[in-house]
Amino acid sequence: MTLSIRHDWSIEEIQGLLELPLMELLWQAQNVHREANPGYRVQLASLLSVKTGGCEEDCAYCSQSIHNSSDVSAFEAQMQVEPILQRAKAAKDAGADRFCMGWAWREIRDGAPFEAMLEMVRGVRAMGMEACVTAGMLSDHQAQRLAAAGLTAYNHNLDTSPEHYDRIISTRTYQERLETLQRVRQAGVTLCCGGIIGMGETLRDRASMLQVLAGMDPHPESVPVNGLVAVEGTPLEGQAPFEPLDLVRMVATARILMPRSRVRLSAGRESMNREAQILCLQAGADSIFYGDTLLTTGNPDVDADRQLLNDAGVQAAWTEKTALATAPSN
């Protein structure tokens, strides 16, 4: 089978995939996944919050917004490069292949914390790991400096569909998100861009978000699929839990739409049983966040994840895939 890479999916086509009988959807996703990822390798990415809380944006799901009243402990290590690199080394020793660092900022500002960020990126790359940063909006010049420091990927999510977006965030527009992504792409850094389910969106919203992602050329090299972690103190704290099989469907559909991207099974695994997580791997997820915490919330512990991968019969992947996905299609 030759994988066809398309950027012109309609919302109806994508919704049609999301609505397929589960077995049929899994079969289609499996065919794509086996071709794109022989051997079912899964990338292990560790996540660390370098600057926690105090963010000016009002994202309704986020514990770190000043507009919400969640209790997050401020881990102020943004100027301290060494402790962060020690955490990166520990992640590498535990088997991680990618180290992702988060700053709860509306946008990056120039100055000492940004210089420290560049040092952290250089240090992680020098250890032989991929380095990913998520820190809000940035300028062209900042994107270029991150690229020069060796940054592998910049994470900036769409979060939801353009239609549902206004119910989730008011302080930053969808268009601003797309412009940030464009700046990252132009600087030659790969994109990590995905979204969240379980925030009261419709099936059409899910299809619409996937359409924006699949419409990007090239596709984002990494597509995180998050299930909402309903954090106390956020406007979404009372949201009904997402249905794990819906996350399986999102992963499978993302895999069909973006055959060569890494589809990253991200937040929400703590509210899924092992079998649902294994279904996500079967549906085409080829990366997980690995380590006991995400940014401010929990994640399955390392031993449980080793056991999970072992029981699923999949191996950890190494870095060769990012380069493959970066090549523009046709």
C-beta of residue 269 within 8 angstroms of C-beta of residue 228: no
C-beta of residue 64 within 8 angstroms of C-beta of residue 54: yes
Number of residues engaging ligand SF4 in binding (CB under 6 A): 8
Site string for ligand DTB, 216-235 (x = CB under 6 A): --------x-x--x------
102 binds ligand SAM (CB under 6 A): yes
Phi, psi of 262 (to 5 degrees): -80, 125
Which residue from 157, 222, 282, 287 is in contact with ligand SAM, where contact means CB under 6 A? 157
Selection from ligand SF4, ligand DTB, ligand SAM, none that 156 binds (CB < 5 to 8 A by kind) is: ligand SAM
46 binds ligand SAM (CB under 6 A): no
Among residues 55, 185, 262, 280, the one annotated as catalytic is 55
Q: Which of residues 246-305 bind ligand DTB (CB under 6 A)?
A: 266-267, 294-297
Among residues 262, 264, 269, 280, the one annotated as catalytic is 264
Selection from ligand SF4, ligand DTB, ligand SAM, none that 15 binds (CB < 5 to 8 A by kind) is: none
Q: Which stretch binds ligand SAM (CB under 6 A): 92-100, 113-121, 132-140, 281-289?
A: 132-140
Mapped onto helix, strand or coil, the DSSP state of residue 320 is helix
Among residues 87, 98, 132, 193, the one annotated as catalytic is 132
Residue 93, classified by CB atoms within 10 Å of its CB into exposed (0-12), middle (13-18) or buried (19+), is exposed
Tell me the C-alpha distance between 166 and 168, whole Å: 5
Tell me if residue 59 is catalytic. yes
Tell me if residue 132 is catalytic. yes
Phi, psi of 155 (to 5 degrees): -95, 125
Tell me the C-alpha distance between 220 and 185, whole Å: 9
Tell me the C-alpha distance between 329 and 2, whole Å: 13
Which residue matches tokens 């792409």? 185
Among residues 172, 185, 192, 255, the one annotated as catalytic is 192
Which residue from 15, 28, 84, 102 is in contact with ligand DTB, where contact means CB under 6 A? 102
Tell me the C-alpha distance between 12 and 16, whole Å: 6
Phi, psi of 50 (to 5 degrees): -85, -35
Q: Which is nearer to ligand SF4, 37 or 65 (CB)?
A: 65
Selection from ligand DTB, ligand SAM, ligand SF4, none that 65 binds (CB < 5 to 8 A by kind) is: ligand SF4
Tell me the C-alpha distance between 298 and 272, whole Å: 13
Tell me the C-alpha distance between 42 and 314, whole Å: 7
DSSP-assigned beta bridge partners for residue 43: 287
Q: Which is nearer to ligand SF4, 138 or 325 (CB)?
A: 138
Q: Which of residues 212-271 bind ligand SAM (CB under 6 A)?
A: 226, 228-229, 231, 267
Mark out the alpha helices in the chain (DSSP H runs). 11-18, 22-36, 81-93, 112-126, 140-148, 174-186, 203-215, 244-257, 274-283, 302-312, 320-326
Give the interface with ligand SF4 as residue ranges (CB under 6 A): 55, 57, 59, 62, 64-65, 104, 136
Give the interface with ligand SAM as residue ranges (CB under 6 A): 55, 61-62, 102, 104-105, 134-136, 156-157, 159, 196, 226, 228-229, 231, 267, 295
Catalytic residues: 55, 59, 62, 100, 132, 192, 264
